[in-house]
Every structure is written in structure tokens, then in C-alpha cells.
Amino acid sequence: MPLSFRSANVELYCLECRARYRPEPLLYKCRRCGSLLEAKVEPVEPVVFSGKGVWRYSSLLPTPMAGSEPVTLLEGQTPLIKAKRIAPRVEAYIKLEGSNPTGSFKDRGMAVAVTLGKAWGFWSAIAASTGNTAASAAAYTARAGMKCLVLLPRGKVAPGKLFQALLHGAIVAEIEESFDEAVRVAERAAWELRLYPLNSFNPWRLEGQKTIAYELFEQLGEEPDAVVVPVGNGGNIFAIWKGFAELKDLGLISNVPRMIGVQAEGASPLVKAWREGSDPVVEEPSTIATAIRIGRPVNYKRVLRAVRESRGALVSVADSMILEAQKALAAEEGIGVEPASAAPLAAYEMLVNEGVIDRGEKVVFVATGHALKDPSVPLHYRIHRVASIRDLARLLE
């Protein structure tokens, strides 16, 4: 049965060959050319931003008609914090996505995707994950009263995320292979077992994530010059770009910010594809930032488009730089993030030195996930033994 939306027209379309489709639950690839499909929502007039959670932006979202209540845990409205010390040559802001209900930006996408899955009548969902998608899918399906199966690469998921998936009652399954293989299995299982897919190839999830752009616009009162985002599977950088492109179409901003994607050196298929035109594939991805340990990003065409059309860039950073940036953010600004979320800041020096961002520009670094997600990172922090006040005094010397 077709869903009724609040907006007069919600459709799926192919950015590559321009084919258009009416929304269907398991339709996310173009039947003509095989590319992933995007959602197009005709805004509900007048466009107003009011209320809480991602549904604050419901006039620009695929909002179901009354009768199917939107699923929400009041995600979004995350702090935008002006940096004091860590990126002095630009006007730097940190978007604290770790403040979402399950501690990452995934919650925005899950609110919308789970709402539609539920409205379409699914009772069970599936997601492959490096961890955060699993935690968020588990919480939002729990909220919606649905079952959730999450598929994880064994031994490669940070303990906080695994704990969250289990805590929220997801059925947790592990495979010996990589995340990339888990995505393939999840996609097939969605079809064969009639499960609602919650990976970022699902266009409705990206509709939720595009609200990061709307919020940045509301918080800054204008668009930033550049937005720096960690990139794994590539859904998020595209979603943020899409959000800004829509604001431009609405006449609310005059320029779409440059989208700058940052990958970990050992898992940087998109940086290679961007520079060398090679296939976006790394066979054995490896990085301490397990969230973005991805070798075959399903959203590669989306990423390349967002970066190209916004005149942005794709760069990679070494794990040592990621750990240094994670520590600097925490110890110099008071902001705790997981390793993947420190990748944008790790690229700061390089981006300024290479002229990708200019002095004085307004730059947003998207801090995608909370520090507590991954307490396993072997940083060489010192813990001191003390037996007296004098010992304590010595520590301060």
C-alpha cells in the first residue's frame, strides 16, 4: 500500500540518469542504471522550523500523514561549540553529534527511516554496522516496538557500541568477514527475509541526517564556508551536502559550503578514487578509527558528487594524527569524541597549509560520535600512584 505523506509530493529519483519513482519500502536502487536513489520532498508551505527532534524540520522531510506517529527520541539540536584553541587560523566550530540520544549522528537518520519502516508495516529491521548504526538502530526500533537484527564484523566493534546494541535488545549477529561483507549480507537478507534495511543506502535515513545542515544554518544564522566530515560509507557527507543544497534552492542561503571529507589513511578508498580516478576499493582496510574502517563505501558516487559539486576535497590522515587530535579536542577544548570523529580536526593543519581552507573562514568540524563509545583506544595516558598530599603537590609541579 502506498504511504501518504504530509507533503504533496515525495518521490525517489536517480541523480545519475534522472529516472523517477514513487516511494516503495525496498526500493533504493535505480531500476535503469543501478545507482542509489535519492529522496525528493516537495516542501510543505510555509516552510517552518518548530518543535524538537528531527521532526522540527518536518516541512522538508518525508513526514507520514497523521495515523503513523513519527518515531523520535528528541535527537538533534546538538550543540555547536566555537573552538577556543585548537584551530586558531580559522573561525572553527565543533558540531557535537555525540550529544544525540545514543551518542552519534545516526540517530537523526534512524528517526526518519524507522518511522517510514514502521508506517510501511515492517515488524523487523536489519543493519550491518561498524557499531554506531547498530546502537542507534537498536534504540529506535525499540522505541518503535520493532525487532532489530544487527550484523557486525567480529572483534572490530568498539565495546560501548556493542553494549548499546545488546542493551536496547537487538539480536546481535557477528560475521568473520569485514563490515563491507556485512553490508552485502544485510542487503540480501532484507530482500529474502523481508526485513526493513537501516543502512545508509536507504535514502530515508539520509533525509534525517540532512538536518545537520538545517541546524548549522539555524545556529550560525548563515551557511559556513566549509564543513569537514569523517567519511566511512559516505552517507553522512552526502546527506549534509543535500541539506545545504535544499536550503539554497529555498533561497535561504546563497552558497553551499565546501564539503571536505576525511578518511583514515589505512581505509581511504574515496581519497584514492578522488585523486587517481581508481575504483573506490581498499581490500583490507585498517585503522584505529573502527567506525570508518570501510573498504568499499556503498555511497561512493554520492560522496564524489557532493565533494565535486561543492568544490570541496577528500583527504586522509594517519592514525597517529587522529589520536593526537582526539587528545587535543578533549584536553584543550573539553570535548570528548571517539577516534573517527577526531579525523576532521586531524586534517586541520594540512587543509590550511594546502589552501583547502583559508585563514579566517568559518569552518565546521562535525564530531560524529561520543568519546565513551570507544574507551579501548590505547592512548598512553598516565595514571599516578599517590600516598600523601605531598605526592599530589608534586604532580602539579
Which residues bind to ligand F0G, rule: CB under 6 A?
A: 104, 129-133, 200, 230-236, 291-292, 338, 340-341, 368-369
| Least distance to ligand F0G, CB of residue 321, Å | 16
| Least distance to ligand F0G, CB of residue 119, Å | 24
| Least distance to ligand F0G, CB of residue 362, Å | 22
Q: CB-wise, 117 or 297, nearer to ligand F0G?
A: 297
| Least distance to ligand F0G, CB of residue 130, Å | 4
| Least distance to ligand F0G, CB of residue 320, Å | 19
- The CA–CA distances, whole Å, from 200 to 126, 232, 239 equal 12, 11, 10
Q: CB-wise, 105 or 122, nearer to ligand F0G?
A: 105
Q: CB-wise, 71 or 186, nearer to ligand F0G?
A: 186
Q: Rounded CA gap, 289 and 149, in Å?
A: 24
C-alpha radius of gyration, the chain, whole number: 21
| Least distance to ligand F0G, CB of residue 286, Å | 15
Residue closest to ligand F0G (Cβ): 369
Q: CB-wise, 53 or 208, nearer to ligand F0G?
A: 208
| Least distance to ligand F0G, CB of residue 19, Å | 24
Q: CB-wise, 170 or 231, nearer to ligand F0G?
A: 231
Q: CB-wise, 62 or 208, nearer to ligand F0G?
A: 208
Work out the end-to-end distance of the chain between its first and last CA atoms, rounded to an integer number of angstroms: 71
In sequence order, the β-bridge partners of residue 93 are: 82, 364
Q: CB-wise, 90 or 262, nearer to ligand F0G?
A: 262
